[in-house]
Chain A
Amino acid sequence: MKIVHTDVLVIGGGLAGLRLAIGAKRRGHDAIILSLVPAKRSHSKAAQGGMQASLGNVAKGQGDNEDVHFEDTVRGSDWGADQEVVRMFVNTAPKAVRELAAWGVPWSRVRKGDRTVIINGQKVTITERDEAQGLVAQRDFGGTKKWRTCYAADGTGHAMINAVADQAIADSIPVHERMEALALIHDGNRCYGAVVRDLITGEVSAYVATATAVCTGGAGRVYRTTTNAVICEGIGHALALETGASALGNMEAIQFHPTGIFPAGILVTEGCRGDGGLLKDVDGHRFMPDYEPEKKELASRDVVSRRMEEHIKKGKGHQSRFGTHLWLDITLLGEKHIHTNLREVWDICHYFLGVDPVKEMIPVRPAQHYTMGGVRTDASGQSPTLKGLFSAGEASCWDMHGFNRLGGNSVAETVVAGMIVGESVADYCDAIANAPTVPMGLVREFVEREQAKLAQFTKAGGKEDASVIKGEMQDLMTAKVGIFRTGADLEEAVDKLQKLLVRSRAIGLRSPTLGANPELVTAYRVQRMLKVALTVAYGAAVRTESRGAHFREDHPRRNDAEWLKRTLATWKGESDTLPTLAYEPLDVGRMELPPGWRGYGAKDYLDHPDTPARQQAVEAIRAQHANDRFAMQAALMPYEHLLPPVLRGRNERIDEKF
């Protein structure tokens, strides 16, 4: 049995995993990164629009700071987020952008003086300040009060992961490419690494580590129509789930992006609307102001996606040979803007639609986009129930997104969480008590179990076809666990998914070899994906309220009285066909921003009984510290102690000079 030893095993070479590994390595701990693909091909690469950080360099970002970013994020989450974590995040995001700038990210920069932009369909002249010349620029994104999204044209994730992956190479961090973690090695209390399969040779080995971090990204491919890459199959979610010890948080919270190109589902960035693009219907009418007079196209994603589907239901969609869609119109932005700031969008429209977005409208319809839920961690990024297991990035439920994440907050989360959790991992490895006393018998047992499962596929002569089951799951999720949900649909989905899970236990292979074998990969992944899909569907069926992206037509109100809590899903027994759900209440008494109206979407919600008292207390504290925002914040909800010491401290801005 081949065993690889390391201090830190990072599963996932996207932005989160890379940055986490760099942090741990710089603290003197050896790290190995596993990835299904070369690190730079991870899905972080596909992020186009940008990264939120309250730098406040541009004129339209003036007055921005951590407080505004905090409020936008909590409102965006529909109060599902952990507010302390949001505070940690907003305070670190500016440092993250600046670190990335030093590492070589070619952020788009401010040009002083006048420039013309499109706001609300009108040409407007903005004058950038002299002092801002050459600083990192920000653009507008949905759900934000200020222009806060830093960007590198529309290849932000691309430029970010180039710089971070290159730093990892500079720091001599090995990336074991085309290596897939199949199971976490654990004894129910502590995690010791993972069982890993080489996708080229089929060899199964053990990676034994003091700390293990799941940074495996999203699970979008449990859906049929998704903006996610084909490798975003939620295997990391399943790794944690299958331990039976660590939980997945809020898996029913799935985001649908308003502008997937139709029908392929490839994303065109929110930057299209941020920069002034409009949504139009079959009559060429701009319909968003009818529904959302205030934020229009730039309400949060969950709201815009629902409004679009609502408008289609009214018969206002355009019928094409593939089905119904709406239009995204960016022609008003002009050729120069599109060719410099929205180049990837132009490429995508050109190659996949044969459309020139300078002259023609883009067919769009909402598509699955982001997995808010994930491996539940504490504020330090560690699982509260399985020691030595950490998680960061889209795979985690650290919980800064709650039930809806804002555009631009995700790539920001990956690097910020990478910075913070990298420090936590290093602390954990430093602590003598954690010196690995690895139970080698356990390691062997886990490796043999996975080998036996693989052999089962090739030997047992099962009759089910893995890709057929996968297809049925994806269709079911898109049809029944989508943007508008009902109890009846969700129950049907849960029932059918359970049946698919049972069927998946009898998958056989047409080409039964254990080496490089794409069919075998589909077979073992689909079993895991079904478990993840069940956490989504079952969580959604049980949650009888609407919150953020989780919208129940039969329970359209947000219900804080009963549902201001986080869903925790665990998988108790191998032969179970349903996850076990538990709930973790959110404490209104400690919230800096007590629950209220988001400022867009429905105004209708049921209050938590503790909200009025907390609201009063908050107002009193605010009045008391009216002229010092830092003192006010510290009195409302202290959080700085949760940050690693190296990441504490205020952020300088043009309007807040040191």
Chain B
Amino acid sequence: MASAPQSHRKLRFHILRYNPAKADDEPRIQTYELEEAPGMTLFIALTEIREKQDPSLQFDFVCRAGICGSCGMMINGRPSLACRSVTQSFPDDIWLAPLPVFELIGDLSVNTGKWMRGMSEKLETWVHMKQEELDFKRIEAPMDPALAEEIYELDRCIECGCCVAGCGTARMREDFVGAVALNKIARFRLDPRDDRTDEDFYELVGDDNGVFGCMSLLGCHDVCPKQLPLQTQIAFLRRKMVAQGTKG
């Protein structure tokens, strides 16, 4: 496939490098030059830089198909998935930095996994069932097909962290749960298999670290790579929580 090189663009990748594990390391911008290839994604480009130019460069890719949410990073200032960002859509200079808010592992790699697990534990993001003893030999409980689709819609979150990185509140308030969490609460609230009531959800998100911390800046909504309806969900949840709060 190595066809004769045509006149491809020379791209310059300016990457924020920092390895917190190294005692004497300082954050710095390092620039790598790379010839663009047709159909090149940031996954292809960064892999090539690591293989050919700098084996120490840290970043995370897993599915490289926009499905797993591993490769969120700041691309020219905007939180996005690197694997499905094609270089063609950028100018010659591409600036890459790790997602803010999350713990930095090194260079472009951040610990979203740890953050998400903490959020899940705190907000109990699983279906809370009353009767534990279900008999799975029996036909399953029916569900309205439209409702199943609605739940799936919110379940499409890939926990990439872009919404948190794009959120004004999250940057100021360390304990803010973020759109990812509020979307999950909206998802479980919708799910008839979850026995929790609005009272329970209010306990979880009825404060300034939860749904009342959102300043409606729409950052999350704009950057969500799965186009989840985050703003509508948060607004809806806030109305429900206000109603619950005033109930007492």
Query: Which positions in A face B, CB cutoff 8 Å?
Result: 37-38, 40-43, 45-46, 55, 94-99, 101-104, 106-111, 133-137, 152-153, 155, 158-159, 162-163, 166-167, 169-170, 175, 177-178, 200-201, 229-231, 263-264, 266-267, 321-323, 340, 344, 347-348, 351-352, 354, 467, 509-511, 513, 515-519, 649-654, 658
Measured between alpha carbons, how far is A281 from B203 in the docked complex, in Å?
59
Please name all residues of chain A whose beta carbon is closer than 8 Å to the beta carbon of B141 when the two chains form the complex: 101-102
**Taking each of A96, A266, A509, which has the highest tally of chain B beta carbons within 10 Å of its own beta carbon?**
A266
Query: Which residue of A41, A109, A519 is within 8 Å of B148 (Cβ)?
Result: A109
Please name all residues of chain A whose beta carbon is closer than 8 Å to the beta carbon of B134 when the two chains form the complex: 98-99, 102
Please name all residues of chain A whose beta carbon is closer than 8 Å to the beta carbon of B51 when the two chains form the complex: 467
Measured between alpha carbons, how far is A101 from B139 in the docked complex, in Å?
11
Q: How near does chain A come to B53, taking the closest CB pair, in angstroms? A: 10
Q: How near does chain B come to A500, taking the closest CB pair, in angstroms? A: 17
Query: Which residue of A153, A231, A263, A322 is within 8 Å of B62 (Cβ)?
Result: A231
Query: Which residue of A38, A133, A169 is within 8 Å of B121 (Cβ)?
Result: A169
Please name all residues of chain B whose beta carbon is closer than 8 Å to the beta carbon of A111 when the two chains form the complex: 145
Please name all residues of chain A whose beta carbon is closer than 8 Å to the beta carbon of B117 when the two chains form the complex: 38, 169, 175, 177
- Of chain A, the residue at the smallest CB distance from B138 is A652
- Does B68 count as interface, using CB distance less than 8 angstroms? yes
Q: How near does chain A come to B50, taking the closest CB pair, in angstroms? A: 6
Please name all residues of chain A whose beta carbon is closer than 8 Å to the beta carbon of B64 when the two chains form the complex: 229-230, 266
Is A46 a contact partner of B67 (Cβ separation < 8 A)?
yes
Measured between alpha carbons, how far is A171 from B95 in the docked complex, in Å?
41
Q: How near does chain B come to A139, taking the closest CB pair, in angstroms? A: 14
Given contacts A348-B65, A511-B55, contact A101 B140 (CB under 8 A): yes
Measured between alpha carbons, how far is A106 from B57 in the docked complex, in Å?
39
Measured between alpha carbons, how far is A515 from B64 in the docked complex, in Å?
25
Is A654 a contact partner of B139 (Cβ separation < 8 A)?
yes
- Of chain B, the residue at the smallest CB distance from A471 is B51
Is B113 a contact partner of A95 (Cβ separation < 8 A)?
no
Is A108 a contact partner of B67 (Cβ separation < 8 A)?
no
Given contacts A98-B136, A104-B126, A518-B50, contact A45 B142 (CB under 8 A): no
- Does B91 count as interface, using CB distance less than 8 angstroms? no
Name 27 interchain pairs, CB-CB below 8 A, sorted by A.
A37-B62, A41-B62, A45-B63, A95-B137, A98-B138, A104-B126, A104-B127, A104-B191, A108-B152, A109-B148, A134-B143, A155-B152, A166-B125, A166-B126, A169-B121, A169-B125, A169-B126, A178-B113, A264-B39, A347-B66, A351-B84, A354-B86, A510-B55, A516-B19, A518-B50, A652-B139, A658-B137
Query: Which residue of B19, B63, B143 is within 8 Å of A46 (Cβ)?
Result: B63
Given contacts A99-B136, A518-B55, contact A351 B86 (CB under 8 A): yes
Further contacts, 4 of them, CB under 8 A, given A40-B159, A158-B158, A159-B152: A106-B152, A106-B155, A135-B140, A515-B21
- Of chain A, the residue at the smallest CB distance from B68 is A41
Q: How near does chain B come to A436, taking the closest CB pair, in angstroms? A: 28
Scan residues 120-170 of chain B and give those whose CB is less than 8 A from a CB of chain A: 120-121, 124-127, 129, 134, 136-145, 148-149, 151-152, 155-156, 158-159
In the complex, number of A-B residue pairs with CB atoms less than 8 Å apart: 200
Scan residues 222-243 of chain B and give those whose CB is less than 8 A from a CB of chain A: none
- Of chain A, the residue at the smallest CB distance from B188 is A104
Please name all residues of chain B whose beta carbon is closer than 8 Å to the beta carbon of A347 when the two chains form the complex: 66
Is B155 a contact partner of A162 (Cβ separation < 8 A)?
yes
Query: Which residue of B106, B113, B158 is within 8 Å of A177 (Cβ)?
Result: B113
Please name all residues of chain A whose beta carbon is closer than 8 Å to the beta carbon of B21 when the two chains form the complex: 200-201, 515-516
Is A45 a contact partner of B1 (Cβ separation < 8 A)?
no
- Of chain B, the residue at the smallest CB distance from A519 is B55
- Of chain A, the residue at the smallest CB distance from B139 is A652
- Does B246 count as interface, using CB distance less than 8 angstroms? no
Q: How near does chain B come to A181, taking the closest CB pair, in angstroms? A: 17
Q: How near does chain B come to A412, taking the closest CB pair, in angstroms? A: 14
Scan residues 176-215 of chain B and give those whose CB is less than 8 A from a CB of chain A: 188, 191, 193-194
Given contacts A170-B124, A200-B105, A651-B137, contact A352 B1 (CB under 8 A): no
- Does B87 count as interface, using CB distance less than 8 angstroms? no
Please name all residues of chain B whose beta carbon is closer than 8 Å to the beta carbon of A175 when the two chains form the complex: 117
Is B69 a contact partner of A107 (Cβ separation < 8 A)?
no
Query: Which residue of A37, A45, A99, A340 is within 8 Å of B67 (Cβ)?
Result: A45
Please name all residues of chain A whose beta carbon is closer than 8 Å to the beta carbon of B136 when the two chains form the complex: 94-96, 98-99, 102
Interface residue count on the B side (C-beta < 8 Å):
65
Measured between alpha carbons, how far is A135 from B144 in the docked complex, in Å?
9
Measured between alpha carbons, how far is A511 from B54 in the docked complex, in Å?
9
In the A-B complex, the 8 residue pairs with the smallest Cβ-Cβ separation, listed nearest first, are A134-B142, A38-B113, A519-B55, A166-B126, A104-B127, A109-B145, A95-B136, A351-B84
Please name all residues of chain A whose beta carbon is closer than 8 Å to the beta carbon of B158 when the two chains form the complex: 40, 45, 158
Given contacts A37-B113, A178-B113, contact A348 B66 (CB under 8 A): yes
Is A516 a contact partner of B137 (Cβ separation < 8 A)?
no
Query: Which residue of A41, A135, A266, A650 is within 8 Å of B70 (Cβ)?
Result: A41
Please name all residues of chain B whose beta carbon is closer than 8 Å to the beta carbon of A107 when the two chains form the complex: 143, 148
- Does B7 count as interface, using CB distance less than 8 angstroms? no
Q: How near does chain B come to A510, taking the closest CB pair, in angstroms? A: 5
Given contacts A166-B126, A516-B106, contact A229 B138 (CB under 8 A): no
Is B116 a contact partner of A229 (Cβ separation < 8 A)?
no
Please name all residues of chain A whose beta carbon is closer than 8 Å to the beta carbon of B39 when the two chains form the complex: 263-264, 322, 352
Please name all residues of chain A whose beta carbon is closer than 8 Å to the beta carbon of B41 when the two chains form the complex: 352
Please name all residues of chain A whose beta carbon is closer than 8 Å to the beta carbon of B106 when the two chains form the complex: 516
- Does B114 count as interface, using CB distance less than 8 angstroms? yes
Measured between alpha carbons, how far is A103 from B191 in the docked complex, in Å?
11
- Of chain A, the residue at the smallest CB distance from B129 is A102
Is A351 a contact partner of B149 (Cβ separation < 8 A)?
no
B28-61 interface code vs A (CB 8 A; 1 in, 0 out): 0000000000110100000000110001111011
Is B67 a contact partner of A344 (Cβ separation < 8 A)?
yes
Is A518 a contact partner of B155 (Cβ separation < 8 A)?
no
Is A351 a contact partner of B66 (Cβ separation < 8 A)?
yes
- Of chain B, the residue at the smallest CB distance from A102 is B134
Query: Which residue of A41, A101, A137, A517 is within 8 Å of B56 (Cβ)?
Result: A517
- Of chain B, the residue at the smallest CB distance from A104 is B127
Is A41 a contact partner of B84 (Cβ separation < 8 A)?
no
Please name all residues of chain A whose beta carbon is closer than 8 Å to the beta carbon of B50 when the two chains form the complex: 518
Is A41 a contact partner of B149 (Cβ separation < 8 A)?
no
- Of chain B, the residue at the smallest CB distance from A323 is B1
Is B145 a contact partner of A108 (Cβ separation < 8 A)?
yes
Measured between alpha carbons, how far is A162 from B117 in the docked complex, in Å?
12
Is A650 a contact partner of B137 (Cβ separation < 8 A)?
yes
Please name all residues of chain B whose beta carbon is closer than 8 Å to the beta carbon of A42 when the two chains form the complex: 62, 68
Measured between alpha carbons, how far is A565 from B223 in the docked complex, in Å?
53
- Of chain A, the residue at the smallest CB distance from B141 is A101
Is B105 a contact partner of A516 (Cβ separation < 8 A)?
yes
Please name all residues of chain B whose beta carbon is closer than 8 Å to the beta carbon of A510 when the two chains form the complex: 55
Please name all residues of chain A whose beta carbon is closer than 8 Å to the beta carbon of B125 when the two chains form the complex: 166, 169
Query: Which residue of B62, B69, B70, B145 is within 8 Å of A110 (Cβ)?
Result: B145
Measured between alpha carbons, how far is A397 from B117 in the docked complex, in Å?
31
